[in-house]
Amino acid sequence: MVISQTMCMRIGFSSVLLANSSPQQMGMASISFSFSSSLLPSPLPHGKTNNTKHGTQVPNIKVVNCSLTTKTNSSSSVIAPKKRIWKEGEYPGISETSIPGYRSKRTPIKNVKKKLDRKAKAKAWVNTVAETLSDHVLKKQWIQALEVFGMLKEQPFYQPKEGTYMKLLVLLGKCGQPRHAHQLFDEMMEEGIEPTPELYTALLAAYCRNNLIDEAFATLKQMKTLPNCQPDVFTYSTLIKACVDALRFELVESLYEDMNERSITPNTVTQNIVLSGYGKAGMYDQMERVLLGMLESTTCKPDVWTMNNILSVFANKGQVDMMERWYEKFRNFGVEPETRTFNILIGAYGKRRMYDKMSSVMEYMRKLQFPWTSSTYNNVIEAFADMGDAKHMEYTFEQMRAERMKPDTKTFCCLINGYANAGLFHKVISSVRLAAKLEIPENTLLYNAVISACVKADDLMEMERVYKRMKEKHCQPDSRTFSIMMEAYAKEGMNDKVYDLEQEKLQILADGPKSY
């Protein structure tokens, strides 16, 4: 009988032998075979071989480590096994265990393999969960991140780590979920993790990002009572930024006094925040006063971030002449521009439809080997989107993807706005689908762009459906959301709808940011 290589690999040589043995041979219970990593079959020959019997070709299969053992009597004498004639397809092998009287001290390989498999699966599961958690954090998917973290906490091998809580606190703050951040902070304390200034600052930042200034000051007060959690310059800078964004400059002065009493010196980041706030509020005298103080200081000299902040102030106000004048001033101060600096200039020129200057800056970037970034392309796409120039907008977007630049939320907001301005509402839908395919975070900015497109299409029913989905996705509406919808309802004379939205807006402002 000819035994093929495939059959030997599938059913094992022991089965082959039993199938081809006579009853007398099957009764020889003393014969056994060991197959621990024993089968190394060689390729089957394609031509004729010399191993033939009665005209039948025998495959030349090589077997290693197949062993033949025999039982021994209780006496010290060794009984030699009976000589047998091997049939076709049956090949004897010799291994350590085939020697009479040999006794292995090793753990059976089968058991070791099971243990190794169990350890490998457990380790792989942990790594998979950790990678999944990091992936959700990176994509700002806070709901999925908390679900995976909850699964991780239920496992017996779970050990609470400060770094994991830090990532989640920052994520929740960025996603507009300060209540969840506070709850997570309390759970962290219950698990026995000692709070640090960094963890408290992350919680404080979550409040500041969502304009909960009272809660942020309460956190600062609590930090002052804990010897190992004293606030530092980063804590104060975070809180100062929240006050500046809320135009609460009187609180900024009180925080400066508090820092002075604690011998905490403001750094360049702190001064840049205040300087930018004064500029956004149109308080140019105070802005120049802070800038002059930085020029005279030996510890917080103006840097490229200072330059970018001031240029952004005038760029957002459309004051291109002032922007260019301050650009020259900073160059005279010895501050060198960077990629973000040029992106600010490109965005300002694009909004004013000064395409010649916009192109000149982009060519200048290439000449100096400054890379075009996603922000560079976003500014160009936004310039064409505001005009409703879908053709050039699409060309820029395709070029962006061809250079493997990853589009972000602003990219799709500009695309949706551009298609809506051009009246191409079917392309608005395709852009939303593409954003979902690329796993772009569904945040307030993206929903506002879609709601605005629905209004431009005079489709209030679709607008309401998008708004409902926005709340189902735990995405917090902002003043821009309500402004767009209320204006649309007012245009149609739907005053009852306007009133309902006003009440909902007041309720949200009273409750603060929350998850629906």
Give me the pLDDT at residue 311, please. 95
Q: What is the DSSP string of 142-200?
A: HHHHHHHHHHHHTSTT----HHHHHHHHHHHHHTT-HHHHHHHHHHHHHTTPPP-HHHH
| Rg value, the chain, Cα | 37
Give me the pLDDT at residue 399, please. 94
Q: State the SS3 of 61-92.
A: CCCCCCCCECCCCCCCCCCCCCCCCCCCCCCC
225-231's contacts with Cβ under 8 Å and 24+ in sequence apart are: 226/195, 228/194, 228/195, 228/196, 228/197, 229/195, 229/196, 229/197, 229/200, 230/197, 230/262, 231/197, 231/200, 231/201, 231/262, 231/264
d(CA 374, CA 410): 9
Structure tokens that stand for 512 in this block: 């603060």
| 213 φ/ψ angles, rounded to the nearest 5 degrees | -70, -40
pLDDT tens, residue by residue, 43-52: 434 444 444 4
Residue 83 CA: distances (Å) to CA of 1, 11, 92? 21, 26, 12
Give me the pLDDT at residue 234, please. 95
Q: What is the DSSP string of 420-474?
A: HHTT-HHHHHHHHHHHHHTT----HHHHHHHHHHHHHTT-HHHHHHHHHHHHHTT
pLDDT tens, residue by residue, 255-276: 999 999 999 999 999 999 999 9
Strand partners, 69: 32
Cα separation of the two ends of the chain: 74
Structure tokens that stand for 84 in this block: 């047998």
Helix, strand and coil percent figures for the chain, each rounded to 5: 65, 0, 35
Task: Name residues of the chain where pLDDT drops below 50.
Answer: 1-77, 86-87, 89-99, 101-105, 107, 122-126, 515-516
Structure tokens that stand for 194 in this block: 């000692």
3-state secondary structure at position 45: coil
d(CA 375, CA 316): 15
Cα dihedral value 396, 401, 402, 404, nearest 10:
130
The closest of 178, 179, 185, 214 to 200, measured between CA atoms, is 185
The sign of the torsion formed by the CA atoms of 146, 151, 154, 155 equals negative
Q: Which residue has the tokens 């990219």?
A: 411
Query: Residue 57 contacts by C-beta under 8 Å, 6 or more apart in sequence?
Result: 2, 48, 49, 51
Give me the pLDDT at residue 295, please. 86
Exposure letters 104-114 (e unless 16+ CB within 10 A, then b) = eeeeeeeeeee
Give me the pLDDT at residue 166, please. 94
Give me the pLDDT at residue 75, please. 43
Q: How many C-beta neighbours within 10 Å does residue 502 have?
A: 12
Residue 360 CA: distances (Å) to CA of 346, 347, 364? 9, 13, 6
For residue 397, the surrounding DSSP H or E stretch is helix 390-402
Give me the pLDDT at residue 441, please. 87
46 DSSP 8-state letter: S
- 451: buried, middle or exposed (CB in 10 Å: 19+, 13-18, 0-12)? buried
